[in-house]
Amino acid sequence: MESGGDGEGTFFGVPGWQGLSLCAIMGWILLSSALGLTQKIRSLVQPWVSRRVASETPLVLFIQSADHVLLDTFFSVLSCIVSVPFYTGFLPLLFWSEHGKLARQMTLLMAFCDYVGNAMKDLVSAPRPSSPPVRRITATKDEKENAMEYGLPSSHALNTVCLSGFLLHYMIANGLQKDASNVIYIGISLVFLLVALIGLGRIYLGMHSFIDVVGGIGLGITILSFWINVYGYVDDFIISGQNVTSFWAGLSLLLLFAYPTSELPTPSFEYHTAFTGVAFGIVSGVQQSSLHLSYGGAPRMLPSELTPSILLGRLLLGLPIILVVKFCSKALAKWSLPILCNALGIPIRSSCYVPGLKAPGSNEKPESRQLSSLHKISALSPQEPFDVDTGIRFLQYAGLAWSVVDLVPSLFAHLRL
Q: Give catalytic residue positions.
A: 156, 208
Residue 170 CA to residue 176 CA, distance in Å, equals 9
Residue 301 CA to residue 18 CA, distance in Å, equals 35
Residue 225 CA to residue 227 CA, distance in Å, equals 6
Residue 183 CA to residue 139 CA, distance in Å, equals 35
Residue 151 CA to residue 125 CA, distance in Å, equals 8
Alpha helix segments (H runs only) across 259-307: 268-288
Name the residue type at position 139. Answer: A
* CB-CB contact of 348 with 231 (8 Å): no
Residue 117 CA to residue 191 CA, distance in Å, equals 20
Please tell me what DSSP assigns to residue 133: T
Residue 286 CA to residue 58 CA, distance in Å, equals 50
Alpha carbons within 13 A on the beta-carbon side of 159: 23
Q: How far is CA 209 from the centre of its chain?
A: 23
Nearest to 137 by CA among 195, 64, 196: 64
* CB-CB contact of 381 with 344 (8 Å): no
* CB-CB contact of 187 with 168 (8 Å): yes
Residues 6+ apart with CB under 8 A from 171: 187
* CB-CB contact of 397 with 277 (8 Å): yes
- Concatenate the DSSP letters of all residues of 175-243 into one string: TS-TT-HHHHHHHHHHHHHHHHHHHHHHHHTTS--HHHHHHHHHHHHHHHHHHHHHHHHHHHHHHH-SS
